[in-house]
Structure 1
Amino acid sequence: MSNTRKVLDRVILGACVALFMFMTVIGTYQISSRYIFKSPSTVSEELISYSFAWMAMLAASYIFGKRDHMRMVFFIDRLTHKAQGLLGVFSEAAIFLFSLGVLVRGGSSITTLTMTQTTPALRISMGYIYAVLPICGVIICMYSLLNIKDILEHLKEEK
C-alpha cells in the first residue's frame, strides 16, 4: 500500500473519530441541558447536525478509498480478469470526473456563494459547512488516482 494512501487513511479516520467523539460529548450536553437543567441549547443541535454532515462525507471518502463500497459483483465476476481490471479503471475514471465536476467544482461554487450567509445559532459562515464538499471531492479524486494506479499495477503483475 502506498504511503500516500496510508497517510490519507489515518488523517480521515482520525477526523471521523474526533468528530464522532465531539458529537457524543455535545449530544450528552444537549440532553443534560434539556432534561436536567430545563434549559435546551440551540447551539448544540446545530453543532451536531453540521458535525454529522462532515463526518458522513469524510467517512464516505474513506470507504471509497478502501474500495469497500457496494458493487455489483454478480456481473463483474462473469468477466475475465483483464476485463474486470479495465472496467475498474473505467469506473474509477468516471468517479474521478464526477468528483472533480460535482464535488470540487460545484462544491467550491456553493462554498463561495454561502460565505456571506451565517448559521442561525452558531453565527458562523455557511461556507465553512459546505467546504466539506470540495474537500471530500479532492480526497475522492486522490483515492481514485491511487485506485487506478493499483488496478493497473495488478494487471501488469498478472501478465
Structure 2
Amino acid sequence: MLMIHAAMDKILKIICCLLFISMVGVASWQVIARYVLNSPSTVSEALLRFSLVWLSMLAIAYVTGQREHVSLTLLTDKLSGKWKIGCNFLMELLFIGFSAVVLIYGGMQATSNSMSQIYPMLNIPKGLLYLSLPVSGALIIIYCLNNCLLIYKNIFFVRSQAL
C-alpha cells in the first residue's frame, strides 16, 4: 500500500508541476500578446481557468494524501493513545464520505449534465472541466483508505521525517 501511495504522490507531483509550468507559460503569452503584440489571445484565459480548476483539485487530493490539509487540531493535539487514533480514523472516514457524496456523486452529476455543452473558447465539452471533481474524489478516497491502513498499523510518518 505504501508503494501505491508513493507512486500516486510522484504522479500527482509531476502532473501538478506540469500544469503550473504550463499556466505560467500561457499567462506569460497572454501578457506578451496583449501588451507587446497588441493582439490579445482569446484562448489563453479559458485555458488558464480550465488548468487552474484541474490543478486545484489534484493539489487538494495530494495534500489530503500527505495529511497536510487544513484542519482544526485544538482537540486532537490534547488527545493521546486510542482517542487520538480514533479521532484521526474518524477524520479519514469523514473525508471518504465527503469525497464519495460531494466530489464523486455530485461531480458525476455535474459532468454528465454539462458534457453536451461546449466550452466556447477551447471547443471542448464543459464536462471535462467538471470531471476534475470525481477524479480528485477518487484519489482522495484512495489516499484516505491508505491513511486508514496506516492509522490501523499505527505507523505515521511525519512530513519532515519523510523528506
Shorter-chain TM band: over 0.9
What is the CA–CA distance in structure 2 between the aligned matches of 1:136 and 1:65, rounded to whole Å?
11
The Cα shift of 1:94 comes to: 1.2
What is the CA–CA distance in structure 1 between the aligned matches of 2:147 and 2:122, rounded to whole Å?
39
The Cα shift of 1:114 comes to: 0.5
Look up the match of 1:52.
52
Q: CA RMSD in A?
A: 1.2
The Cα shift of 1:34 comes to: 0.3
What is the CA–CA distance in structure 1 between the aligned matches of 2:7 and 2:131, rounded to whole Å?
21
What is the percent sequence identity of the aligned residues?
34
What is the CA–CA distance in structure 1 between the aligned matches of 2:127 and 2:71, rounded to whole Å?
33
Q: Secondary structure at the match of 1:42?
A: coil
Q: Secondary structure at the match of 1:40?
A: coil
Look up the match of 1:38.
38
Instruction: Tell me whether 74-83 or 93-102 shows the greater mean CA deviation.
Output: 74-83
Q: State the TM-score, normalized to the length of structure 1.
A: 0.94
4+ residue segments displaced more than 4 Å = none
Look up the match of 1:115.
115
Q: Which runs of 5+ in 2 are unaligned?
A: 156-163
Q: Secondary structure at the match of 2:104?
A: helix
What is the CA–CA distance in structure 2 between the aligned matches of 1:149 and 1:35, rounded to whole Å?
53
Q: Which runs of 5+ in 1 are unaligned?
A: none
What is the CA–CA distance in structure 1 between the aligned matches of 2:98 and 2:72, rounded to whole Å?
19
What is the CA–CA distance in structure 2 between the aligned matches of 1:35 and 1:70, rounded to whole Å?
39
Report Cα offsets for 1:10-60 as digits up to 9, x if no partner.
Answer: 111111000001101111111111001101011001001110111011111
Equivalent residues, number: 155
Q: State the TM-score, normalized to the length of structure 2.
A: 0.92
Report Cα offsets for 1:53-105 as digits up to 9, x if no partner.
Answer: 11011111100000011222231122122100001111111110110111011
What is the CA–CA distance in structure 2 between the aligned matches of 1:120 and 1:70, rounded to whole Å?
35
Report Cα offsets for 1:102-121 as digits up to 9, x if no partner.
Answer: 10111011101111101121
The Cα shift of 1:2 comes to: 0.3
Question: For residue 7 of structure 2, what is the amino acid of its counterpart?
Answer: V
Look up the match of 2:127.
127
